[in-house]
Structure 1
Amino acid sequence: MTLSLFDQFMSPEILGIPLMALALTLPWLLLPSPTYRWVNNRLLTLQNWFINRFTYQLFTPLHQGGHKWAIMLTSLMLFLISINMLGLLPYTFTPTTQLSVNLGLAVPIWLATVLIGLRNQPTIALGHLLPEGTPTLLIPILIIIETISLFIRPIALGVRLTANLTAGHLLIQLIASGTFILLTLMPSVALFTGTLMFLLTILEIAVAMIQAYVFVLLLSLYLQENV
């Protein structure tokens, strides 16, 4: 029986119980909790430095009203990085390869930014749908196009994260399968493909971190337009 390569993205089950909830909860248990000591250990110090630098870089361009989102977006960043990195380990499952999970993260936050813009500055928020100086004949068309582009933003966020992680996992599995097959047939070629798989794994680690950052960065840009 030949299994599909996409079977690795199916939610694992034990006794008919899906383990999606466990995969989503586990990253929070691995992060060290802050302490009130004067001097922390190296891991906690590194984590605090990373959080401070990320929060400063992400929220410096934002208006003062957008700084209220710092805790939520920073937590989302750590959550996505943890899930993406844990998904690279053998015999693990990556929830962010599921489009439903990514849309579940993107749609509510995007919708909240839109509602905040409509409540605080409705004129400016609606003005984004029609650029200034648009010819009269193009006004209906541009309004339709800008409205579609507004509603497609959360879909683009979810699809981008899903597609990048799925493609990386598929490439790693394909090259790993080819390496095991060629190991007995052509050892020299297997050595080359094994080296390629190692380099691809390093690249996938970078992609897992960068995609989490891009996901949160785009949400902050949507927030910047509405605060």
Structure 2
Amino acid sequence: MTLSLFDQFISPTLLGIPLIAIALTLPWVMFPKPPLRWVNNRLLTLQNWFICRFTHQILQPINVPGHKWALLLTSLMLFLISLNMLGLLPYTYTPTTQLSMNMAFAVPLWMATVIIGARNQPTHALGHLLPEGTPTPLIPVLIIIETISLFIRPLALGVRLTANLTAGHLLIQLIATAAFVLLPIMPTTALLTSMLLFLLTLLEVAVAMIQAYVFVLLLSLYLQENV
């Protein structure tokens, strides 16, 4: 039994070796590989349909120069959703509950969109810092506010993903502990708590998929502003 509720977010080690590398590479190993046959099986067909639909939906509002990001955004979506889903299995570890890892994804990708906008259309990129029709006395204040909002975007990306997954894991841990403690004392209450735990697990599965989608969707919106 864990000594603290937050022990589940500590990177696991085996013989002093951190196992986060295995947790990060496991999703790529589990992805189905294209067979040598001409006709794909049902799993590959479903996977291809999902990837095509997601890529089309993400890149539809973006200009043609931004379509070069299709492979990167789709791979990031599959990677995040696999990590989030695998982290819900018992005796597993969710790397996306670590703020450092999420910021390592958010900051470089956000910075790349900003650099693309500053290189290709600097006037339009700087125009985002000052809305049109702003009164002259408010110009310095609005420039400061828009600059802060620009630099806070990667922090919001990383914190949103971390907070949602951490909160869901903590709720599952709390309700599972309550059901385990109440089982010998009040079996009926423990059964109701277990039903609530099952519903919360389904909700957490949905949150794991939605948060991966939201992360990539916000990155595509930042890209849309700069291409």
1:170 is matched with 170
For 1:142-181, list aligned pairs within 5 A.
142-181=142-181
1:57 is matched with 57
Deviations 1:63-97 (A, max 9, x none): 00000000000000000000000000000000000
Hey, what's the Cα distance between the residues in 1 that align with 2:96 and 2:53? 25
Hey, what's the Cα distance between the residues in 1 that align with 2:139 and 2:17? 52
* Deviation at residue 35 of structure 1 after TM alignment: 3.9
RMSD: 1.1
1:118 is matched with 118
Hey, what's the Cα distance between the residues in 1 that align with 2:115 and 2:20? 30
Identity percentage of aligned residues: 78
Hey, what's the Cα distance between the residues in 2 that align with 1:144 and 1:4? 42
2:3 is matched with 3
1:224 is matched with 224
2:38 is matched with 38
Secondary structure at 1:184's aligned position in 2?
Answer: coil
* Deviation at residue 147 of structure 1 after TM alignment: 0.4
For 1:77-226, list aligned pairs within 5 A.
77-226=77-226
Letter in 2 for 1:150: L
2:29 is matched with 29
* Deviation at residue 36 of structure 1 after TM alignment: 5.4
* Deviation at residue 5 of structure 1 after TM alignment: 0.5
Letter in 2 for 1:223: L
Letter in 2 for 1:64: V
* Deviation at residue 21 of structure 1 after TM alignment: 1.1
TM-score by length of 2: 0.98
Hey, what's the Cα distance between the residues in 1 that align with 2:2 and 2:17? 25
Report the more deviating stretch, 8-17 or 209-218.
8-17
Runs (4 or more) in structure 1 with deviation over 6 Å come to none
Deviations 1:104-125 (A, max 9, x none): 0011000000000000000000
Deviations 1:164-219 (A, max 9, x none): 00000000000000001111100000010000000000000000000000000000
Letter in 2 for 1:130: L
Hey, what's the Cα distance between the residues in 2 that align with 1:175 and 1:18? 29
Deviations 1:123-161 (A, max 9, x none): 000000000111111111100000000000000000000
Hey, what's the Cα distance between the residues in 2 that align with 1:224 and 1:29? 32
* Deviation at residue 17 of structure 1 after TM alignment: 1.0
Hey, what's the Cα distance between the residues in 1 that align with 2:79 and 2:149? 27
Letter in 2 for 1:76: L
Report the more deviating stretch, 205-214 or 31-40.
31-40
Letter in 2 for 1:66: G
TM-score by length of 1: 0.98
Hey, what's the Cα distance between the residues in 1 that align with 2:44 and 2:101? 29
